Amino acid sequence: MEKESNLAIIEFKSIARGLYVTDAMLKAADVRLVLASSLCPGKYLTIVEGETGAIDSSLKTADEIGGMHVYSSEVLNAINPKVIDAISGKMGEHSQEAIAIIESMQIASLISSADDVSDAVPVEFVDFRLARGCGVNSFYIFSGSYSSVEEGAQRASQLLKEKGALLAYRVVSGPDREVFRWIKTSLCRC
């Protein structure tokens, strides 16, 4: 398994400022861009990964240059590479046995819950959408054996409930093949 990494997650109130600051963050520290995208409605999301010192440096740059345009920022440590891949759009193979969807408005909390799930149970992410094309809500969908999916959904929902960040979650046993076809079709980058 690959080495776990640290993430800095920054939401900006301005798309223009977000793009500008993202460039400055990448030039200021040895970090890798995981995701940079406009969000609904009119915000910008940047996620970078790297060693602790580099993450701290890039976050300091974001706060200094972003100023009042930084809506939120958070560092998450020791994140499973499977989660980072899913955020980047590299999805695993799906299982037809069961899927779960976990939904929240808090991006960092949602990513933390996905990390907890991926560390605890053998599942594959089949969609990971962070406030793109769905208003301010974010969600991920994972698949696997029914017992793994059920356990993962319970873990994620409990973690998000404790943070006051759970919007909804559902487990679907034996999803119809058309459901997977539409999940893949909806993997837009809007």
The answer to whether position 23 is within a domain reads yes
Q: Tell me, yes or no, whether 120 and 46 share the same domain.
A: no
**Structural domain harbouring 73:** 5-79
Asked if 168 and 87 sit in the same domain, the reply is yes
- What is the model's pTM? 0.86
Task: Summarize the confidence of residues 18-39 as an average pLDDT.
Answer: 94
Contacts of 125 (CB under 8 A, 6+ apart): 82, 83, 85, 86, 91, 92, 114, 118, 140, 141, 142
- Lowest-confidence segment of 11-25, 55-69, 128-142, 175-189 by average pLDDT: 175-189
Indicate whether 45 belongs to any domain.
Answer: yes
Cβ burial of 137 (10 Å; 0-12, 13-18, 19+) is: middle
The answer to the question of residue 190 being in a domain is no
Residues 92 and 153 placed together within one structural domain of the fold: yes
Mean pLDDT for the chain overall: 89
Residue 132's pLDDT is 65
* Domain stop point among 44, 79, 114: 79
Q: How many domains does the chain have?
A: 2
User: For the residues of 118-180, what is the DSSP string, one character each?
Assistant: HHHS--EEEEEEESSSBTB-EEEEEEE-HHHHHHHHHHHHHHHHHTT-EEEEEEEES--HHHH
119 and 138 in a single domain? The answer is: yes
Domain boundary among 79, 99, 120: 79
Which domain-ending residue is among 79, 109, 142? 79
Give the pLDDT band (50/70/90) at residue 42: confident
